[in-house]
Amino acid sequence: MNLYLGLDSSTQSLSAIVIAVGPDDERHVVFEHTLNFDAEYPEYGTQNGVLPHDDPTVQNSSPLLWVAALDRMMGIIAKESDLDLASLRAIAGSGQQHGSVYLKSGVWETLRGLDPQKDLVAQLGDVFSRRNSPIWMDASTTAQCEAIRAAVGGDSVLAELTGSGAFERFTGPQIRKFYETEPDAYASTHTIHLVSSFMASLLAGESAPIDPGDGAGMNLMDLGKKRWALAALKATAPGLEAKLPPVAESCSLVGKLSPYWAQRYGLSSDIDVAMWSGDNPCSLIGVGLVKPGRIAISLGTSDTLFGFLPEPVVDTEGRGHVFGAPTGDYMSLICFLNGSLAREQIRDAAGYDWQGFEAALNSTPVGNNGAMLLPWFAPEITPRVEQPGVHRFDLAADDHPANVRAVIEAQMIATTLHSEWMGVEVDTIYATGGASRNRGILQVMSDVHNARVYQLETGNSAALGAALRAYHAHFVANGQPMEWDDVTRGFVTLLAGSEISPVRAHVDVYREMKNLYAQREAHARHSE
Ligand code: XUL
């Protein structure tokens, strides 16, 4: 048996999945574990993985919390699982996208000289030039987005170059804000990492490159050439090129597991550390989208809709993004910030648990008797909405079952409206993420998109995708490249009996409703 570890450092938790490939090619997921940040690390004071802040547009987390979770997770895998870790061949990972980590000079010497007797947090307290990391939920950089757009010649120029127009959560605008507001701290920053490349660096004990999947979420990378775009760097902050790690192919290795981990947890020092990528590029692999024609919808903290692209089809109107795919191709992605966040608000207002939420959804009619809402509990990414606000139409705030249906119908209609630019005829959707367990939601997804919806055996597609990437990178490094279909085979399997088909009468209701929703959405945004 050969083992491959995939880690997923997400907004709210760190998850691990270990996959095993046996001598006769038998394939199993043999370990899964999650550490929830709020529950396990109350001393950091996060709420849903985010540090409270007076300004609701500012959304930070603590990089030391991610460090602490990695240390503990490696300990759990080494000491508490009954895995035969002598067979662990490679580790790769997935990180929440766009979030950035700012490190002082001297950090790499510190990482190389770690004492395996001491925990990692105790040794890394002083390496950050910025104590907190801005994460993807941050919406505080509208001015910086404007300035970057103006400097490069407009949003469509930036989108053609980097795969996306300027977005508040993207790393470039975040770096520009840091430079503008804390110039001394910016000057003392030696390296700027993404969450993904930072975590990979911790494992390898050296500065890891950034992969084109996560690099494309920065407004800084030339998407076609897969290297830093100097015009974008110049528009962002002075001296930036020297502070960024290089871009390297997603299937390459960072190095071997550093002596710290080997000695601390009795692991072999011959374990490959493969490149980490963003959670969405990893999920693309974890749901088996290694060919064009199908899409996935991930229902997580944010809801995302993504698909495989052989060529970069950029949305110059600025609604979606194109990232590098771990296969070396491309992927399209649309992110809806008010995903679980909005569902939880409605659930909590009603005092339901998730079962009660699903029962309420199933007890209300398709089309909700005309009741509707726009679910912008927090500033929305798609469509861009700066001022949060929940707009209700023919819907009383205390009619809880109708609010449940309204939020789900709104979210699903938004996913279809805002994905039209991708030009994909959707007939099959893979549903993943925590809320994909709720079949009532998936029926609405199926009816709104007029497509069949399937669930997958392994719900954590980002961690599974990371484990599969570790498997692939290990073989590539040994001169035995594998077809991606071969990598995912046996691991990415449809959940038996999970198929949901669209109901013709419902499809017709939603076709009408979609037009009304689009009008109301446009009206609400323009009267902001
Ligand atoms: C994608 C995005 C989110 C985060 C969530 O652009 O912002 O999906 O990656 O972790």
**Which atom of ligand 1 is found nearest the CA of 301?**
5
Q: Which residue's alpha carbon is at the smallest distance from atom 6 of ligand 1?
A: 335
pLDDT of residue 185: 98
| Average pLDDT, integer, range 100-115 | 97
**Which atom of ligand 1 is found nearest the CA of 96?**
10
| Average pLDDT, integer, range 296-307 | 93
Helices (H), 49-96: 63-75
Best residue for ligand 1 mutational test, from 14, 100, 136 (most atoms within 8 Å of Cβ):
136
Whether 170 has a pLDDT exceeding 80, the answer reads: yes
The residues near 356 (Cβ < 8 Å, ≥ 6 apart) are 347, 350
Q: What angle do CA 55, 59, 60 make, to 5 degrees?
A: 120
Q: Is the CB of 280 under 6 A from ligand 1?
A: yes
pTM comes to 0.93
Q: Is the CB of 461 under 6 A from ligand 1?
A: no
Q: Is the CB of 13 under 6 A from ligand 1?
A: no
Helices (H), 188-258: 195-204, 212-215, 230-236, 240-243
Contact 349, 403 (CB under 8 A): yes
Mean pLDDT over each residue of the chain, to the nearest integer: 96
Peptide bond into 383 cis (omega under 30): yes
Residue 315 pLDDT grade (very low, low, confident, very high; cuts 50, 70, 90): confident
Best residue for ligand 1 mutational test, from 98, 323, 337, 340 (most atoms within 8 Å of Cβ):
98
Question: How far lies 248's CA from each of 48, 74, 110, 251, 271, in Å?
Answer: 32, 25, 24, 8, 20
- Distance from C-alpha of 442 to C-alpha of 284, rounded to nearest angstrom: 19
CATH 3.30.420.40 fits 2-281, yes or no: yes
**Positive or negative: CA dihedral 376, 380, 384, 386:** positive
Residue ranges of the chain assigned to CATH 3.30.420.40? 2-281, 288-455+496-528
Q: Is the CB of 279 under 6 A from ligand 1?
A: yes
Q: Chain centroid to CA 337: how far?
A: 11
Q: Which residue's alpha carbon is at the smallest distance from atom 5 of ligand 1?
A: 96
Burial 223-260 (b: 16+ CB within 10 A, else e): beebebbebbbebbbeebeebbbebbebbebbebbbeb
Q: Which residue's alpha carbon is at the smallest distance from atom 7 of ligand 1?
A: 136
Residue 129 DSSP one-character state? S
pLDDT tens by residue, 21-53: 999 999 999 999 999 999 999 999 999 999 999
Best residue for ligand 1 mutational test, from 301, 302, 315, 323 (most atoms within 8 Å of Cβ):
302
Residue 441 alpha carbon to ligand 1 centre in Å: 21
pLDDT of residue 313: 82
Residue 209 DSSP one-character state? P
- Distance from C-alpha of 349 to C-alpha of 123, rounded to nearest angstrom: 43
pLDDT of residue 424: 79
pLDDT tens by residue, 442-462: 999 999 999 999 999 988 899
Best CA proximity match to 13, nearest among 91, 66, 76: 66
Q: Is the CB of 60 under 6 A from ligand 1?
A: no
Q: What angle do CA 267, 270, 274 make, to 5 degrees?
A: 100
| Residue 53 φ/ψ, nearest 5 degrees | -150, 145
CATH superfamily of 288-455+496-528: ATPase, nucleotide binding domain (3.30.420.40)
pLDDT tens by residue, 507-525: 999 999 999 999 999 999 9
| Average pLDDT, integer, range 300-310 | 91
